[in-house]
Amino acid sequence: MQASNSSSEDQKFLVRRLLISDKSKGFIELLRQLTVCDSVSDNDFEDRFHEISSLGDYHVICVIEDESSGKIIATGSVFIENKFLRNCGKVGHIEDVVVDTNARGMQLGKKVIAFLTDHARSMGCYKVILDCSLENGAFYEKCGFKQKEIQMVKYFV
């Protein structure tokens, strides 16, 4: 019983890549739960979507859609950086991870991170990194990450 419940939950909350149609499913509103995200016109959304898509597997944005409500309830992205060091190695950068307030604590954040981490590994990255608040450190530790060094930032706007 337990196993079939969890597998139907798994099927209900599949992680997939972002689609253009996700704009009308609350994708921008979800990003607003993470940080400042002004309204984006349909044209601007399409332009940026195609720009990111043209990078293929080098820039992947994933989402989880709640099939019952048709809303996007979780997202995250990974960008693959080509380097000269480590034998011309690659590093994955995870960004913009957010789960809808009403869907937190259901292992969806963990699913998003697993998807993005698996993608970075499959692209040949030797590591995957991200910045987070101290409060979210425990979440990322549950996802298999460990704290290293400090974050530095300079904002231009």
Query: In this chain, which of 31, 104, 114, 129 binds ligand COA, going by CB under 6 A?
Result: 104
Query: In this chain, which of 58, 59, 110, 145 binds ligand COA, going by CB under 6 A?
Result: 110
- Residue 90 is a binding residue for ligand COA (CB under 6 A): no
Query: In this chain, which of 108, 116, 125, 128 binds ligand COA, going by CB under 6 A?
Result: 108
Query: In this chain, which of 97, 116, 125, 128 binds ligand COA, going by CB under 6 A?
Result: 97
- Which CB, 91 or 109, lies closer to ligand COA? 109
Query: In this chain, which of 19, 28, 34, 52 binds ligand COA, going by CB under 6 A?
Result: 34
What b-and-e string marks burial along 84-120, b requiring 16 or more CB atoms within 10 Å of the CB? eeeeeebbbbbeebbbbeebeebbbbbbbbebbbebb
The string of DSSP codes covering 90-149 is: EEEEEEEEEE-GGGTTSSHHHHHHHHHHHHHHHTT-SEEE----GGGHHHHHHTT----S
- Which CB, 28 or 34, lies closer to ligand COA? 34
- Which CB, 89 or 145, lies closer to ligand COA? 145
How many residues in total does the chain contain?
A: 157
Name every residue whose Cβ is closer than 8 Å to that of residue 37 and which is 6 or more positions away in sequence. 28, 31
- Which CB, 47 or 141, lies closer to ligand COA? 141
At closest approach, how far in Å is the CB of 9 from ligand COA? Answer: 12
At closest approach, how far in Å is the CB of 57 from ligand COA? Answer: 22
> Could you tell me if 23 and 34 are in contact, meaning their C-beta atoms sit under 8 angstroms apart?
no
